[in-house]
């Protein structure tokens, strides 16, 4: 069973993404704290680079939970060290520590899907 929302790329929409994760994990009897943290970061990145609606998807297969965020930007995600004066640039390190694996794949019509498999 998959759970999907299409959200406007606005910071306040991150709560709806977290709520979707909480709903899915609740139905599966799983703790959602770390997944809510991950989806917030994925959504925030997508909302920042995309002027178009963002798709948030939560799925489960073979005992693993997959989080995905689709946006219309072709801007790549880069895992890089942020300087001490930079306000952003640390979120992917958090994701990298919390998930089993993550990556990016291009979408057929342009844009990308950023995905994470929860540990």
**CATH class of the 3-118 domain in this structure:** alpha beta
Average pLDDT over residues 27-43: 97
d(CA 59, CA 113): 14
Q: How many C-beta atoms lie closer than 10 Å to residue 35's C-beta?
A: 23
pLDDT class of 94 with cuts at 50, 70, 90: confident
Strand ranges in 1-119 using DSSP code E only, listed in sequence order: 3-7, 54-61, 64-71, 99-106, 112-118
At 92 the pLDDT is 85
Q: Domain extents for the chain? A: 3-118
Q: Is the pLDDT of residue 88 over 70?
A: no
Average pLDDT over residues 99-117: 95
pLDDT in tens, 6-29: 999 999 999 999 999 999 999 999
What mean pLDDT is reported for the chain?
92
By the 8 A CB rule, do 100 and 34 touch?
no
pLDDT in tens, 44-59: 999 999 889 999 999 9
pLDDT in tens, 60-73: 999 999 999 999 99
Grouping H, G, I as helix, E, B as strand and the rest as coil, residue 111 is coil
pLDDT class of 86 with cuts at 50, 70, 90: low
């Amino acid at each position: 069973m998959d759970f999907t929302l299409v959200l406007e790329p606005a910071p306040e929409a991150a709560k709806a993404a977290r709520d979707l994760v909480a709903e899915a994990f609740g139905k599966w009897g799983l703790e959602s704290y770390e997944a809510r943290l991950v989806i917030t970061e994925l959504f925030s990145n997508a909302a920042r680079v995309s002027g178009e609606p963002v798709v948030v998807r939560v799925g489960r297969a073979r005992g693993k939970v997959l989080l995905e965020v689709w946006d219309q930007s072709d801007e790549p995600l880069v895992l890089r060290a942020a300087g001490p004066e930079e306000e952003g640039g640390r979120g992917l390190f958090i994701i990298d520590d919390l998930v089993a694996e993550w990556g990016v794949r291009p979408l057929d019509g342009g844009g990308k899907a950023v995905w994470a498999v929860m540990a």
